Amino acid sequence: MNQDYPLDVTYAQGQPSGRAGLKQQAVDFVVNERLGFEPSGIGEHCYVQIRKTGANTAWVAENMARYLNIKAFDVNYAGRKDRHAVTTQWLSCHVPGKLMPDFSNMTLAGVEILETRRHDKKLRRGSHAGNEFEIRLRNIQADTEDIERRLTRIADQGFPNYFGEQRFGRGGSNLLAADSLFAGEPVKHQLRDLCLSAVRSYMFNADLSQQLSAGELDDISVPEHCWTASVEVGRGAESGGRTRSTGQANQRGWLYGLARKENSALKSLETRFPHWCEGLRKLDLKAQQRDLWVRPAAFNWRFEGPDLLLSFGLPVGSFATSLIREVVNYGEQ
């Protein structure tokens, strides 16, 4: 953790005393992407569903583009999935024509192709409905009653929708890179969007943490995530697909940027983070909103010897580690 940008945020139930191991093996963290729609079967885009183990999504996309002899930007995906995990997700490849590309000779370490379908639109970031998780927390060292109490409250009331620490890079490296970017120093092109996303995420977390600490969210009520709800797809790096239960609204916070009307929340961020806010305004980024709280779908758990097994679904943009931190202190491999 970088001392300039501490990543600690307020807990909804107080910091847990128990400990457990997370991602000790790839199979301990299983993620299955839910598109929220069916590829039509026709169109210029080939949708490829993959299962990957120990592989980076961007790396898979680059190699798939190379195999198909197309530009890297012609391979798209709805979101990056954890590397140290077993994950399934879809990628879209722009390959016009009636014949489906033959992937039988494409060999990528840790990558298996499950299905291919045609569709008339490419995948965009955040355009999926969400993700399903199956997680094993190893060697639980905690009071079982405390664990059960925490899990039950999350099932009933949800948890703070913090961005996970992985968004900020190791030791907050993405935040430090953003400082360099805003100071006019050269930053690698592929790191630029990560920097901008990291500072907006950090400010969102800080604001949510402050509200939680002040008791402003004690009575917040959130519907369970619904896979069949409508998905609103906005524009921009942070917009994503917003899955909403019909007729029920969630309290939302701000990802800093330019807004049509001034509001106190954005002004407060400008006071707390003037350098970042000035840099984002100069880049003409638009303000967007994000749910402050999220409630997992189909949340189940059981103890298996010294381990705790969790399964649940989360909407796009929500982090499983933000749920887990409310249950135990965890250490990744």
- Residue range 164-186, pLDDT digits in tens: 998 998 889 999 999 999 999 98
Contact predicate 153/13, CB 8 Å: yes
Token readout for 174 is 């993405």
DSSP-based three-state secondary structure for 123: coil
Whether residue 241 is predicted with pLDDT greater than 90 in this model: the reply is no
Q: Is the pLDDT assigned to residue 236 strictly greater than 80?
A: no
Measured distance CA(328)–CA(333) in Å, rounded? 16
Write down the architecture of domain 37-127 according to CATH: 2-Layer Sandwich (3.30)
Number of alpha helices (DSSP H) and beta strands (DSSP E) in the chain: 7, 16
- Give the DSSP letter string of 45-61: EEEEEEEEES--HHHHH
pLDDT band at 239 (very low <50, low <70, confident <90, very high): very low
Domain ranges of the chain: 19-25+131-297, 37-127
pLDDT digit string (tens) for 306-327? 999 999 999 999 999 999 999 9
Count of residues making up the chain: 333
Per-residue confidence (pLDDT) for residue 227, from 0 to 100 = 57
What's the topology of domain 19-25+131-297? Pseudouridine synthase (3.30.2340)
CA distance 130 to 117: 20
Instruction: Read off the amino acid at residue 47.
Output: Y
Band (7; pLDDT cuts 50, 70, 90) = confident
Q: How far apart, in whole angstroms, are the C-alpha atoms of residue 256 and residue 319?
A: 20
Beta strand pairing call for 329-332 and 252-255: unpaired
Question: What's the CA gap between 115 and 13, in Å, rounded?
Answer: 42
Can you give the pLDDT at residue 229? 36
Select the more confidently predicted residue: 66 or 229.
66
Q: How far apart are CA 292 and CA 164, in angstroms?
A: 14
Q: Which residue has the tokens 């195999």?
A: 67
Query: Is 102 annotated as catalytic?
Result: no
Catalytic residue, candidates 4, 8, 82, 291: 82
pLDDT for the residue numbered 219:
77
pLDDT tens for 294-307 read 999 999 999 999 99
**C-beta separation of 53 from 26 below 8 A:** yes
Helix, strand, coil % over all residues of the chain, rounded to 5: 30, 30, 40
Nearest to 199 by CA among 273, 266, 94, 288: 273
Burial pattern 28-49, b for ≥16 Cβ within 10 A else e, equals bbbbbbbbbeebeeebebbbbb
The model's pTM: 0.88
What is the Cα–Cα distance from 110 to 161, expressed in whole angstroms?
31
Write the single-letter amino acid at 308: L
Phi, psi for 90 (deg, rounded to 5): -105, 145
What percentage of the chain has pLDDT greater than the value 70?
A: 91
Which residues, including other chains, have CB under 8 Å from residue 126's CB and lie 6 or more apart? Answer: 78, 79, 233, 238, 239, 240, 241, 316, 317
Task: Say how far apart CA 286 and CA 181 lie, in whole Å.
Answer: 18
Angle 275-279-283 from CA coordinates, rounded to 5°: 170
Contact residues for 298 (Cβ-Cβ < 8 A; gap 6+)? 132, 311, 312, 313
Lowest mean pLDDT among 48-52, 228-232, 254-258: 228-232
Distance in angstroms (rounded) separating the CA atoms of residues 134 and 131: 10
- CA torsion angle 221 227 232 237 (round to 10): 90
